[in-house]
Structure 1
Amino acid sequence: MQQRFDEEDKLLRIQREEFASQIQSASARQFLCSICLEEYSEENIVRLEFCDHALCRTCTKDYVSSKLEEHRFPILCPMCMADDHKGNPGTITDITVQQSGITNQQFDIWVELQMSQFSVLVHCRKCKGSAYVDRQDLEDTTLLPCPLPDCNYIWCKACQQSVVIGGAKHSCDGSSELDHLMKQRGWKYCPSCKTPIQKEMGCNHMTCMSPGCNTHFCYLCGGAIITSALRRDIQAAISAHYARCRLFEEVADRALLP
């Protein structure tokens, strides 16, 4: 057992000596910073992805800080940009940023810029809250629900108007909502100019009041009777229409319905 212990102890001493030698060798190696052109030991090296340019930690911190102040993202290798790099330029990665020694406030900016690649900050006008949503989902949808779980507000991405789920289909110009209301209340459009008309009392003969329209139509069937300003032609057309339709058909007034 003593012999076995001695062998293991000897092996451990050899491994420690090799490890110490590797550390000493790494410390002895020097590299040239691509920005300040000063030589530094291997432990102060920062190599960027793709291009393998070497920067010292001080220059890395200063460069990253300046780009974050400008809200530039992604942050590309300064040497690749200076050399008009034709391939994939080197980039500052998350690990590089964390090791560069920037402030917490600057790191918050970095995280926000990272998230902006894949998400968009959405503000809700109702609850005044904000949250990030997936950029692709935002591009694919026309209606925006509040991203916060305690708010059920929904609005149109194009016109910013609020949208009621379960109500009329939304249209930015209000035409779909008007159609829904017209059908709900039993109102009619003028068959010529499409002006909404509500009958309150009287017969089913309607005269469009829109300037220059001169259309007469039936409120019961919705059909056009005549477009004219001549009394004789109007009377003849009314008589012909109500020979097959009902002039005094009672139509339920649904204007007071909820």
Structure 2
Amino acid sequence: MKYANISGVPDFTATEYASRQSDYALCIPIINEGDRIERELARAQSAGIGRFVDVIICDGGSTDGSTDDAVLKAAGVNTLLVKTGAGRQGAQLRMGLWWALQRGYKGIVTIDGNDKDSIESVPLFVEKLKEGYDFVQGSRFLAGGAAVNTPPIRYAAVRLLHAPIISLTARQWFTDTTNAFRAYSRTYLEHPQVQPFRDIFQAYELLAYLSVRASQLGMKACEIPVRRVYPPKGKTPTKISFFKGNSDLLKTLFMNLLGAYRP
């Protein structure tokens, strides 16, 4: 089914392999993740994640065969969303969040599709949502979590720059603020002073904004331990370029601190 001309949401198509089975959705934004997303989905199946959430792939336009219908159905995916409109990661996330809310989910978990994160931890996020938390951040730095093979420059950037700035903006301490393994309640996303469905969120702005807005509004936010594993060698799986990507990310952090994304 095609969705177009929705305010604050990019044009996209939805292919539903099954009806809604759960009260919670797991949205996985990807683009050409190849065997990484295949391994991640296989781990999800082995862990029985489908008993807790409906798995929704939020694709930015992959061309590597990883989103073929037969592949996704065999992997237990509930729905494939494919962005056809403009925008990058922020647009993919808006697409997934909007569609999940329209489908009636009570809460939404998100995770990268590059097989770095402990997808087996999804039930912990659902548990926190059921306890009444509105924003749940996964952290590899909490007791019980694990940061494996984290590149030193990334470790330093998160611990010494990104986390302090996000925590200052949020008025609550967070330790692993670049981590997209997190969860949002329906109440949070539909709060009139949040309004995530705006075209200002094209790239990484929405992740930064949703990291801080819940606690700014006095809503319940927390961190839980997760595992994040980088390959021991070879290219680091990331869509952020070293110079432009990190420069844009730094600009986003300070715009967020100054309240540029508030409605």
TM-score bin (small chain) = under 0.3
Task: Tell me the TM-score normalized by structure 2.
Answer: 0.17
Question: Whose relative contact order is higher, 1 or 2, with alpha carbons under 8 Å and at least 6 apart?
Answer: 2
